[in-house]
Amino acid sequence: MAEPHPGGPIRVAAVGAGWVSQNRHMPALHHDPDVDLAGIVVPEGELAESTRAHLAKQFGPLEFGSSLQAGWLDRVDAVMIGTPPDTHPDLVVAAVEAGKHVLVEKPFALTTAEADRMVDAGAANQRIVSVVHNFQFARAATHARSVIDGGGLGELRAVFGVQSSNHERRLPSWYRELPLGLFTDEAPHLVYLLQALLPEAELESLHVGRPLSDDDNTPDLVSMVLRDGPVIGSLHMTFVGALSEWMVVVLGTRATLVLDLFRDVCFTVPNDHGHLAADVLRTQARAVGGHLLGTFGAGTQRLRGKLDYGNAHVVRRFVAAVRSGVPDSHIDGTRGRDVVRILEAAHRASGSASPA
């Protein structure tokens, strides 16, 4: 248990100012009434003066520093880290040893040893260490959880995650430096979603394909099977697609639920029984209608600037944990370590892979 926050707004500094920090972390911090976004820590010369002025106009008066040793950080309660994953362990440990609570972007770490180091440092210094596992709190995922918990699918039978990635979309400049490239950066989202739905799941099998090229360790395919008692889970990811799509499909005895992560859409289709013509038409109508209705709702949220894929909810949970001193079990550092354990298994499995 961490030391509870004494009250008043929680002063937070953003560490890193890349796309995810500017477009996800900072807006979520800025719009939370219990948070005071105090400033940004970024290496000297990395942010142009025009960018600094733009950020100050968007988020209010901001301090800027080049390290966690900046003097104004003495007045900060917590940091939200959005830097590349290989930098997380040193930054997290330095922050908690300086008395700061920490919310860190996924992937939490690259090895379980690094994850343990951060979790242990948080506990030793009585500070909250949490991870941004945001998609589980997105609008559609929240609805999916309520359907499942309410018994709308009947008895749970299986959970499938499917991903296709197109390398032409916006990607972090450093992804090629990760052990399995884009897989290591993107897989945590689907892994933590599967773990949230199948909390006792254990990894049963794992296949890692060949790297895309000599200078890109991203595998062409990763396929894994997990099992939680009688319920099976699987994740299939390919990085050679012409489409970028992330989907989770949940199979129950009464209905099947489809969660479209990028569009923030969730819909269900009923048991099709004998798969006769009327059953097939009913399935098609429910699927098309459900997706269109969900797309309209999500589109409205996007136009209103409120479609943030659960980031604001993560910040609210982090703030509550800091105030109470009690880690949130959905985003605690141990959840980050659970994901890292799967990533590390994939890194080991890739040892025999050779360039295509």
Q: Averaged over 94-103, what is the pLDDT?
A: 98
Q: What is the DSSP string of 125-189?
A: TT--EEEE-GGGGSHHHHHHHHHHHTTTT-SEEEEEEEEE--TTS---TTGGGSTTTHHHHHHHH
Q: Distance (Å, rounded) from C-alpha 287 to C-alpha 138? A: 20
Q: Which two tokens stand for residue 90?
A: 């040193």
Radius of gyration of the chain (CA): 21
Minimum mean pLDDT among 28-32, 169-173, 203-207: which range? 169-173
Q: What is the DSSP string of 206-220?
A: EEE--EEETTEEEES
Nearest to 330 by CA among 340, 317, 320: 317
Q: What is the DSSP string of 248-316?
A: EEEEESSEEEEEETTTTEEEEEE--TT--HHHHHHHHHHHHHHHHHHHHHHHHHHHTT---TTHHHHHH
Nearest to 158 by CA among 222, 211, 235, 62: 235
Q: What pLDDT does residue 136 have? A: 97
User: Does the structure show a pLDDT above 60 at 354?
Assistant: no
Q: Which two tokens stand for residue 195?
A: 């773990």
Q: Where in the chain is the domain with CATH 3.30.360.10?
A: 139-263+265-306
Q: Could you say which architecture CATH assigns to the domain 10-132?
A: 3-Layer(aba) Sandwich (3.40)
Q: What pLDDT does residue 4 have? A: 81
- Cβ atoms < 10 Å from Cβ of 121: 20
pLDDT tens-digit profile of 288-301?
A: 999 999 888 888 88
Q: Distance (Å, rounded) from C-alpha 246 to C-alpha 116? A: 29
How far is Cα of residue 194 from the mean position of the Cα atoms in its chain? 12
* pLDDT band at residue 185 using 50, 70 and 90 as cut-offs: very high
User: Does the structure show a pLDDT above 70 at 356?
Assistant: no
Q: What pLDDT does residue 287 have? A: 93
Q: What pLDDT does residue 353 have? A: 39
- Give the β-pairing of 156-164 and 216-219: unpaired
Q: What pLDDT does residue 352 have? A: 39
User: Does the structure show a pLDDT above 50 at 62?
Assistant: yes
Q: Averaged over 259-287, what is the pLDDT?
A: 94
Q: What pLDDT does residue 318 have? A: 98
Q: What pLDDT does residue 299 have? A: 83
Q: What pLDDT does residue 355 have? A: 39
- Cβ atoms < 10 Å from Cβ of 167: 16
Q: What pLDDT does residue 351 have? A: 75
Nearest to 66 by CA among 87, 97, 42: 42
139-263+265-306: what CATH class?
A: alpha beta
Do the Cβ atoms of 216 and 142 come closer than 8 Å?
no
* pLDDT band at residue 45 using 50, 70 and 90 as cut-offs: confident
pLDDT above 70 coverage of the chain, percent:
99
Q: What pTM value is reported for the model?
A: 0.94
pLDDT tens-digit profile of 107-123?
A: 999 999 999 999 999 99
User: Does the structure show a pLDDT above 80 at 175?
Assistant: yes
User: Does the structure show a pLDDT above 60 at 172?
Assistant: yes
Burial of 272 (0-12, 13-18, 19+ CB in 10 A): middle
Q: Distance (Å, rounded) from C-alpha 176 to C-alpha 215? A: 7
Do the Cβ atoms of 270 and 255 come closer than 8 Å?
yes
* pLDDT band at residue 8 using 50, 70 and 90 as cut-offs: confident
pLDDT tens-digit profile of 244-269?
A: 999 999 999 999 999 999 999 999 99
User: Does the structure show a pLDDT above 50 at 125?
Assistant: yes
pLDDT tens-digit profile of 127-143?
A: 999 999 999 999 999 99
Q: Which amino acid is at 21?
A: S
Q: Averaged over 257-284, what is the pLDDT?
A: 95
Q: Where in the chain is the domain with CATH 3.40.50.720?
A: 10-132
Mean pLDDT over the full length of the chain: 94
Minimum mean pLDDT among 108-117, 164-173, 226-235: which range? 164-173
Nearest to 226 by CA among 161, 145, 291: 161
* pLDDT band at residue 22 using 50, 70 and 90 as cut-offs: very high
Nearest to 102 by CA among 16, 184, 182, 224: 16
